Structure 1
Amino acid sequence: MGEQLILRYAGLFFLWVSLFLLSMLAYVGVTVWAVIKFSFGRGVPEECGGSYENWMWVYVVSILLNATLGRCAKHRLGYRSGEPEPVAVKRLNRAVCAFYVLLFAAGLLLVPGEEAQRCRRPVVVDEETGAVSPGDAGYFASWVALCALGVFVQALIWGGLGLFAYLAVWLARNGYLSDEGTAAPEGTAEGLESVGVGEAAGGGDVCAVCLEAFGEGGGTPKRTPCGHVFHEKCLANWFKVARTCPVCRLDVVEQAAPDNRV
């Protein structure tokens, strides 16, 4: 792997960590905002009763339970600070994460409802004069922001570096992390020998790059000088990163040169 490609992966990892940290900070900030609005505001307006109030109570209580009983449960399951988490604790963490994903998703599903829309534009009626004035819409705004950020952050926590690895592999397979120092010249894949779908399948059921069967997209199957067959599209993307065969690492560019052809 060339130095240029290593720097690109390092930059991608830095952006991923920065995104995670910024998302966590935004999530904590929005949580504080929403809890303050709900607990210490001027009282939940009548328009915001029902689904909003019930949802916020579940969220606030779950945070308190997770901070108290959750820690006790992890301790009872054998977890000690600074030590690797036991399997039971990892399962508990996944269960808690799944609970919050479902809770935030439920909140987003409630947003388009009639009750939530009334909460979006609450009004205040003066009991003495009957005058109507705009109410505090911060309840609705903080709720929606909390649900949206919550789903995103929980997905990052759940996936962790696995999502980063998937993203890096996808970018590499599609040529977005190419290294000009090790990449093959443009048009290398197109210049290789084309083979029929039946002949390609005879050398293996699937393309070794995308792991999909020949004849199901990916373009015309192409055979490298070493005898391996791949989808043309898969090879074209691969050659944006490397100049070798994806299976045996033979230098395809060198072997495909006119002077080396039999």
Structure 2
Amino acid sequence: MSVPPVKKNVALFVTCLVDLNRPSVAFAAIKLLEQAGCTIMVPEAQTCCGQPAYNSGDKKSAKEIATQVIRAFKGYDYVVAPSGSCAGMIRHHYPELFKDDDTMMVEVTELSARTYELTSFLQDVLGFTPENVRLEKSLTYHDSCSSLREMKVREQPRAMLGAVAGLDVREAADSEACCGFGGTFCLKYSEISASMVDTKIDNLLATGADMLAAGDLGCLMNIAGRLQRRGADMKVVHVAEILAGMADGPGLGEGET
């Protein structure tokens, strides 16, 4: 395990979906960051990143939410989210929201520069690789659109998964294709979304893998829900849960009615 010589003061951006649907992802992220030598804070004042409002065209509400986030995460060395979607909103879309506000742009630019997706931060900033983690399973990985295209995250999670003893990582065909979630897209265009996730699932199941992992809970919830409706047997977990040795519990959707 590579640990930096100086501890970093890191604020965890938990995300709404993790907070409400899969808190274990936040605990796994904290465990990994602490193993990597970071001091972790979870600001109580944090809220949604504002992406649902932004995607729906409600720029006024999105700016109000973003202002709250900017204030809540001021003063930390880094802001890390177990979601490329939320990290991408802060890093790439906050500057767009405040482009006409010179005063706010100073703080927005500063926050954007120190905001990272979890696996990218662990690999690219800290050079961290997990040790003493074993999982005797086969796994396939889904690249979320925001992580891949906005945050340039692809090799980082795969490199760390490669350090998990006993894990057989299998690439699915068209692994970089959208799962159909797309935030509000799945609500506005539900039939198209369903067709996209069915294609995604066909490719995932073709690998014969026991498990699916990804770095964005929105994608995982969308895929897990469709897998359940199709009666398919594939456990769905966040990549942080695997890397932290916390993937033994139920997957997303398991035990739900």
TM-score scaled by length of structure 2: 0.22
Higher relative helix content: 1
Computing the radius of gyration from Cα coordinates, the structure with the larger value is 1
Structure (1 or 2) with the greater strand fraction:
2
TM-score, normalization by structure 1: 0.21
